[in-house]
């Protein structure tokens, strides 16, 4: 069961070849066996998950209508509020927080009859590219336990890749779904900004954050996106427009198909094996009838700088509420009110979060706002216009997701700039509000996954998924799994 796709699992559940309770037991057992090594989960709700599964089974036996994810276990990134469950954002600041309400996407998953199996590790407050910034544990890449799974949704990506769960939700502010998906050899989709409600997502950078699916294949991502997308009046940035049924059309190829290639995505810093795999993927598309057009994204070279001004400025504002009075950890040792604020924030936040708060506060400070923050917003507009111009010449833009395969744990932790450059190809899509997907397109000689990023125009998720599925049908990269038998105490199914 652990090796099946979501489509296969849903079919088995629908025809009662397996019960939702049995399936949930299977994945809970996988978590017990595998997660001591992978460390993807911060919280597993065993009793709650089994109770949800039993309710699905009872309703199915009665012949009642069920949702599209009925009985399918789903993992949740730890910055999405689930009523009564710990929602820590992998931070000591929120270590004891239990939300009194569900995020919008959680309500949608409940309506789809999904089984919410647990909460996954992440970089603290989603600030990082390696999941090393968690206050509680370091998640490891199932393909090589000495390497990072990417971030900040590294726990969700690692859980799916390790076969601990078939689907997971992540959030993407600058690549935090797509980059870990690439490094873990799975599919990760960032929807257009406004396609999925952010209500109940603990904010990092409100104009960039977006919630999306992680899955083993494109069809699973389409199914999960269908479940969570749509207008929500509680989120003022949620767009009220029709949501296409992506799962129903995902098998339909886009013809004619023109793919754009940006020279800026193939410059210095790109790993040779990653470039080779991406160019081989382009040849596959050409063999399927696609045309390749060279496009220009001239302002993409400013994306990192613009992003780390906009994102940190918004983080400085959003995280001001965690002061030990309104929200969050309160220091037990303090002399007065100001000292309590300082000590609470000093104890509750990790080094990377403090760094970004200070950068953002400086960028917004008197005398510097025009020179930094406002200039970054102008660059953001130019980046948006570059993409708008490019999409007049192509259906989608294709390139690498990450400039390198997964790096070793600790390798970049003391070099923030090197860590930030891990998102060099993904950040622009957030600045422009575009949908983007990462799909497996190869492996290095040492067996590390490589991801192909595909970007489409705003709100063209349906076309994006169809283009991704076209490649997936013609290759087998998405079917490969980590050699979990090599992990202590783990055996491959059937052995």
Residues belonging to the active site: 77, 152, 176
The answer to whether the CB of 439 falls within 8 A of the CB of 184 is: no
DSSP β-bridge partners for residue 120: 41, 77
List, in order, residues 6 or more apart from 438 with CB less than 8 Å away: 177, 178, 179, 181, 182, 187, 188, 401, 451, 452, 453, 454
Rg (CA), the chain: 21
**What is the rounded CA–CA span in Å between residue 198 and residue 437?**
19
* Cα separation, 297 vs 203, whole angstroms: 29
| Sheet containing 41-44, strands listed edge to edge, beginning at the edge strand earlier in sequence | 41-44, 115-120, 73-77, 167-171, 211-215, 187-190, 436-443, 449-455, 396-400, 258-262, 291-295
**What whole-number distance in Å separates Cα of residue 361 and Cα of residue 369?**
10
Cis amide prior to 256 (ω within 30 degrees): yes
d(CA 159, CA 165): 6
Residue 252 backbone phi and psi in degrees, to 5: -85, 115
- What whole-number distance in Å separates Cα of residue 396 and Cα of residue 466? 11
Q: How far is CA 310 from CA 171, 297, 427, in A?
A: 17, 20, 11
Read off φ and ψ for residue 374, nearest 5 degrees. -65, -35
């Amino acid at each position: 069961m652990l090796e099946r796709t979501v489509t296969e699992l849903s079919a088995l559940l629908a025809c009662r070849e397996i019960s939702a309770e049995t399936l949930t037991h299977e994945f809970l057992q996988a978590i017990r066996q595998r997660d001591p090594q992978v460390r993807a989960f911060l919280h597993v709700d065993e009793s709650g998950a089994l109770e949800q599964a039993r309710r699905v089974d009872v309703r199915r036996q009665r012949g009642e209508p069920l949702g599209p994810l009925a009985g399918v276990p789903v993992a949740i990134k730890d910055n999405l509020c689930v009523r009564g469950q710990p929602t820590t954002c992998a931070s000591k600041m929120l270590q004891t927080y239990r939300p009194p309400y569900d995020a919008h996407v959680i309500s949608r998953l409940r309506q789809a009859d999904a089984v919410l199996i647990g909460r996954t590790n992440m970089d603290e407050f989603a600030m990082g590219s390696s999941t090393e910034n968690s206050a509680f544990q370091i998640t490891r890449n199932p393909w090589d336990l000495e390497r990072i799974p990417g971030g900040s949704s590294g726990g969700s990506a690692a859980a799916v890749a390790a076969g601990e769960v078939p689907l997971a939700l992540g959030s993407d502010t600058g690549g935090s779904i797509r980059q870990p998906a690439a490094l873990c050899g799975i599919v990760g989709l960032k929807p257009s900004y406004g396609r999925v409600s952010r209500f109940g997502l603990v904010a990092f950078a409100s104009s960039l954050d977006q919630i999306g699916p992680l899955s083993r294949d494109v069809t699973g991502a389409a199914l999960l996106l269908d479940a969570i997308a749509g207008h929500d009046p509680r989120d003022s940035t949620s767009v009220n427009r029709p949501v296409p049924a992506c799962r129903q059309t995902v098998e339909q190829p886009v013809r004619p198909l023109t793919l754009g290639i940006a020279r800026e995505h193939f410059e210095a810093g790109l790993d040779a094996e990653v470039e080779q795999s991406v160019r081989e993927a382009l040849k596959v598309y050409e063999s399927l009838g696609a045309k390749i057009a060279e496009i220009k994204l001239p302002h993409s070279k400013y994306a990192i700088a613009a992003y780390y001004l906009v994102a940190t400025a918004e983080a400085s504002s959003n995280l001001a509420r965690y002061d030990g009075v309104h929200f969050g950890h309160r220091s037990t040792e303090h002399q007065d009110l100001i000292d309590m604020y300082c000590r609470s924030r000093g104890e509750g936040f990790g080094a990377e979060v403090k760094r970004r708060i200070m950068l953002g506060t400086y960028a917004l400070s008197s005398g510097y706002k025009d020179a930094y923050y406002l200039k970054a917003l102008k660059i953001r507009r130019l980046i948006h216009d570059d993409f708008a111009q490019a999409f007049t010449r192509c259906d989608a833009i294709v390139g690498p997701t990450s400039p390198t395969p997964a790096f070793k744990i600790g390798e970049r932790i003391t070099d923030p700039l090197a860590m930030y450059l891990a998102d060099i190809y993904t950040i622009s899509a957030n600045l422009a509000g575009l949908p983007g997907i990462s799909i497996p397109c190869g492996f290095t000689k040492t067996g590390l996954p490589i991801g192909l990023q595909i970007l489409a125009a705003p709100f063209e998720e349906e076309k994006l998924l169809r283009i991704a599925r076209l490649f997936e049908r013609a290759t087998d990269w998405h079917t490969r799994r980590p050699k979990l038998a090599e992990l202590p105490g783990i055996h491959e199914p059937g052995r």
